[in-house]
Chain A
């Protein structure tokens, strides 16, 4: 490993080289008397503190104080304390309750709450205020009259729950059980709604209204931000994210990656294995080039051109210096790959192990340590533990979580993700080599550092490439939730936030929903039964644009318009004021009351239109990304409203709404079918009878039985318009695309060539066809893809069939590269109830080499090898490298029957019909099989390899073992020699192409390739070519030296 002459004297640890400045730009003079303070807030939380003099709200005892973190336009960090805001909720009142009852009610509730919380500190005012307010419950239409509600304001958030419970219990108001509203809204959300603060919005503290904390001010500086300010909650301005305020501040995004020196065969454990390197890459939002790129290394490390190297003698120094670096850098966003579950947690545990007292102050609040919180979630697959770490004021934005949330991939390793998303392979140094590199010299450590930096670089590049941060900022703005909740909380919170904002303006109170398990079912979106087949005529697709939102708008479906069966007569509503949905629920029409959900949806759709229009005119690439993110966020938000009403374990499920929406959807699809087939018929003067061949959720596929794209598009457009006119506005049927040709396999399984214009197809569109399933080998994915391409793009069903047959034949003749046959599974626990292939293999590998045994959490690649009949599949799994090295035969039949056959038959059945199976799986092409002799195994011990003639494979007679050919083949020597050469030539060519490719990927010509990325398609081939070359050279050498020795 240490082929380089190490000149270790040149680098003494701790010698800093060209340390670039890390801190933020300086603030300069900033005074509340002369200037405002404007910043974009990113994080928002609250804490309990003491009242700030001169601010509204309780003046004694503990009060909640809101805290915002953000960045100014010039890149200064801000921590802003916002005073005077208190939590509250609403409760229903008996009709008899009057203003006069308020005071005694307040005292009674106050005392009850104080008694209930039994706090050690003395509380005098738990309930600060009760007011009678007018409004309506959000759920159900019960007439237009406002009712009296009581608004209960409490001193601290923790008093909300007991107050709610007491009111519900009927003890405070004699024998009246209050219905409670909005008690489950946390104080951050409450505050944001009341002050119209949206996620990531710009906040202005006007001149003279704010106070700046200094070293001498009465209230001490509590944060690491450059500016710390105080203001009253009713004195600041929250700007709507439009125009100038749509911009994004230069947030500091800090990506990092750590390397640990593990022991052989054991995944690094923080109580034993040291952290040896931490690489950091910092970028400002919207900048092209990173601001800082550096690496902290344990022991010396040779300099790196594109990054600063900081070396340390002791691990303690390294960790402390890194923590200092983070504090000085003061990042707004921390990112990396799997930092939540690994890097951060490891660092904190390791620092604890090394007894570093100040390491874990990584957030922005001086007094708060970052700690690991474990949450266990129970999913269908099993228990999973997630770790999270608090960084007050900084957003932990783990790219692994983002990619998992936004992309469906075969594997989420950083290698695979960068391959799939960035389209580039990444060098993968196996962790067993990492310790060797660390124990080498300063050059091997440099090698490791370069690798580590790359791993810190990639998450940032991913973040830029998928625009996730920009899109999340926009989602936060559109839905009004803090950006952190987009990663940590589910979908529902976004809808709740919007509902609350609109409820408040419209005078509704949102009930606190008691979650009760419900067995009520409603019918999902059904489909028109597909007429399967391979259609070579153009198939026009008619789509309802934003179907569910438009149904809700068209029929005024909302919580607030829901009419319970007995209420129609009670309220004296006439039938024309009521909509009875196909699901037999009743809603009042918009003439009676405009629903809130339709209003929200209309606004979202209108805003999307505006964003799209603005996007068209925008030139600046950064702003374009922002606007595109916004229109996407608006679309997603509009579509998520329906899901929210249907989520049975949600905040406010309403099956009347969701059931009606899907029922309308179903009937509309059906109606569209009828209309199309009736109108576009020979009887009606058209050339052919149109046929709807399939319909799903919001689209209908029509075969107009015409031959050209042009005609199909023309009819499609016409039909969309014709049928739109038969539905209530804004429901609109749109003609979007033609599939030509179209392969309809089953419900939600189809593929077609997608045309929106006549000259060129847009793409190949596949739905529900195994292309991403994780437990398939890549052979399946590739074969299915190629077959579909042949069917759809080349319109060559015969070619596709021939290709499929060829692959099957190649497979049976051992002509498929092993990398295409590798199946990968994660080793999640040592003992499964049922024996599993990868677990059994892990045991086998442990026996072979305990040092390199796979560990829990490793992904285990394996291939299925041939074995005696009736050997269970789990015993046939083998390590691909072991298979290559020992020439173990692959179980081609397994791959054919268990991997290839089903997906292949699925796509070929519409073409070949019932014969598909016999044509593909039992044809002539399946007759030839290649038998490979293994170097290991039961029989190998008894066979002695005898040299055979390279021409006819007959055993060479004694005394002639070193000849290439037998006497019979000798006349054909030239030909046979050239055949061997031909293969050798091809292998040599592959060898040089493969190894230079790896050099380029690694980014170095002079260093050895160490990569063992099993996600890379050429990893196994590289090995295989090497082995085959050796073999081939041996065969050729049997022909003797090219120039005959002269006989003297």
Chain B
């Protein structure tokens, strides 16, 4: 490592992302299995919540047994399904491909006619009653208290989610210790980001001095949370066939080379975790796999370069960090009326799931023996990359869990990174904009 940061602090690090990488990917499976295992896992998590919230006075009933049992009031557990007429649909796309009449383009798919259903392994019931459908999305597991109205309708009186899971104790750190989060480098537009990026590199290298009173030597790690090569999709030329061969654009290939050089520079001075993002050269559905070494012939030589999957979970200095390059949060915002990404992130903790809308509206592998997105251990820090602006929030669980939430903005548009202090979980944005 270069001299300037030779006295940089180091700390213990554990990559806890195995569940995202060590799974067989078998596309002959269907999506029903992931829902089944998700519900199985969540049912266990929900049990405690149900007991806490409603005691033991109400029976827990499987949906298909509702009609024969005729309970005046009972609890059902299942997966939510939100029927949304604006939901993008391949069938509609195919039909529209044949009509030149421009179809309205939506980025937000909610509508007044949206309907909620609760579904378990066997049954689906429409949910009636006082439930805030605007803030819910498909794929959430929950428990409902209410009664069967007949005709496939269930009247909801109250509901609960699995909520914050147990958290390991956070060690007391003596000293400040910083982790930097950056996302959305958009290197295809190198000209635009290059000056700010230069400053960033020199700052991290220690040549720039301290910014915002952050002692550079106490920066222990850098997490690059996706979309390093680009941040927006080009509109793909429509072809006759849904399976015809797609090719990568030359400018993207060029940007990967730039990324390699950038990583080379950074890895020389700091430990770097590189997550793939939606538009990076990894696979497309979640979990996105570690980017292949053949694309990083220069930087891969450094052990300090750490290619990781998306979502990504690790433990740095005893602090558990879990996050994604932002797709789950962005997707949730598209299908409900939650306004702020930071709120969506908090909801994910409440729902105990990183990406509830996968696979319904967010692509994921057809897992069949596990749902790796279930949050079984409450992290200390949870982040989402590639959001419009920086935001942060400290939220607390009922059992004293404390979680720092962070939305990392797109660097190419905000020139801002997030800096997290592991000692106190404080988090601040640092702008590197050149005026």
Contact = CB atoms under 8 A, between A and B. Distances in A.
B27 A979 contact: no
B359 A1021 contact: no
Of the listed residues A793, A1042, A1044, the one surrounded by the most CB atoms of chain B closer than 10 A to its CB is: A1042
Interface in B346-380: 359-364, 366
B66 A303 contact: yes
B89 interface: yes
A785 B98 contact: yes
A421 B88 CA distance: 21
Nearest to A309: B67
Contacts of B81: 1005
Given A975-B253, A1042-B307, A982 B247 contact: yes
14 contacts: A303-B65, A446-B64, A794-B100, A815-B239, A983-B246, A988-B283, A992-B285, A1003-B124, A1005-B32, A1006-B79, A1017-B94, A1029-B27, A1040-B294, A1042-B289
A346 to B, nearest CB: 29
B299 to A, nearest CB: 12
A995 B366 contact: yes
Interface of B: 25, 27-28, 30-32, 35-36, 39, 63-68, 70, 79, 81, 83, 87-91, 94, 98-101, 119-125, 138, 148, 150-153, 236, 239-248, 252-253, 256-257, 281-285, 289-295, 297, 300, 307, 359-364, 366
A1024 B243 contact: yes
A989 B243 CA distance: 11
B119 A1006 contact: yes
A303 B67 contact: yes
A793 B241 contact: no
A4 B123 CA distance: 12
A197 to B, nearest CB: 39
Contact of B79 (A985, A1005, A1024): A1005
B256 A974 contact: yes
A1005 B307 contact: no
| Nearest 10 CB-CB pairings of A with B | A306-B152, A992-B363, A305-B152, A985-B284, A982-B248, A986-B246, A1042-B290, A810-B240, A1029-B27, A1042-B292
Nearest to B364: A992
Contact of A786 (B100, B123, B124): B100
Contacts of A994: 90
Given A4-B121, A305-B124, A985 B295 contact: no
Given A981-B248, A982-B248, A4 B68 contact: no
B363 A989 contact: yes
Nearest to B148: A305
A989 B366 CA distance: 12
Nearest to B84: A1000
A979 B289 contact: no
A504 B66 CA distance: 64
A383 interface: no
A487 interface: no
Contact of A978 (B99, B100, B244, B295): B295
Contacts of B87: 1000
Given A308-B67, A1018-B94, 10 more contacts: A4-B121, A289-B151, A304-B67, A785-B98, A996-B31, A997-B91, A999-B360, A1005-B79, A1006-B119, A1007-B32
A302 interface: yes
Given A446-B64, A994-B90, A1026-B27, A305 B121 contact: no
B32 A303 contact: no
A1018 B295 contact: no
Contacts of A1028: 243
Given A425-B91, A977-B292, A989 B284 contact: yes
Contact of B248 (A306, A307, A978, A1026): A978
Interface size, A (range): 35 or more
B101 A793 contact: yes
Given A985-B283, A1005-B35, A978 B253 contact: yes
A242 B68 CA distance: 48
B281 A981 contact: yes
Contact of A304 (B100, B123, B247, B289): B123
A996 B360 contact: yes
Contacts of A22: none
Contact of B243 (A807, A977, A987): A987
Interface in A770-816: 782, 785-786, 789-790, 793-794, 806-807, 810-811, 815-816
B264 to A, nearest CB: 14
Given A978-B252, A978-B253, A989-B363, A1004 B68 contact: no
B39 to A, nearest CB: 7
A840 interface: no
Nearest to B293: A1044
A1043 interface: yes
A1009 interface: yes
A1004 B119 contact: yes
A978 B94 CA distance: 27
Given A816-B241, A985-B284, A990-B243, A1008 B27 contact: no
Given A304-B123, A446-B122, A1009 B290 contact: no
Contact of B90 (A446, A974, A1018, A1029): A1018
Nearest to A789: B100
Contact of B284 (A304, A988, A1025): A988
A1026 B290 CA distance: 23
A1039 B65 contact: no
Contacts of B63: 305
A122 B154 CA distance: 69
Nearest to A293: B151
A60 interface: no
A1021 B246 contact: no
B281 A978 contact: yes
Contact of A974 (B64, B83, B253): B253
A228 to B, nearest CB: 34
A307 B151 CA distance: 6
Nearest to A1025: B243
A1000 B361 CA distance: 11
A727 interface: no
B283 A984 contact: yes
B361 A996 contact: yes
Given A786-B98, A982-B247, A1025-B243, A305 B253 contact: no
B249 to A, nearest CB: 9
A1030 interface: yes
A1003 B152 CA distance: 13
Nearest to B257: A974
Contacts of A1024: 242-243
A792 to B, nearest CB: 10
Given A974-B294, A979-B248, A1024-B243, A1043 B307 contact: yes
Contacts of A806: 240
A636 interface: no
A1047 to B, nearest CB: 13
Contacts of A995: 30-31, 359, 366
Contacts of A990: 90, 242-243
A674 interface: no
B240 A817 contact: yes
A996 to B, nearest CB: 5
Most A CB within 10 A of own CB, among B124, B294, B297: B294
Contacts of A816: 240-241
A10 B282 CA distance: 50
A401 B22 CA distance: 56
A975 B295 CA distance: 8
A991 B242 contact: no
Contacts of B297: 974
A782 B241 CA distance: 13
A502 B297 CA distance: 95
Nearest to A975: B253
Interface string A1017-1048: 11001001110111001000001101110000
A293 B153 CA distance: 14
Contacts of B150: 18
Contacts of B253: 974-975, 978
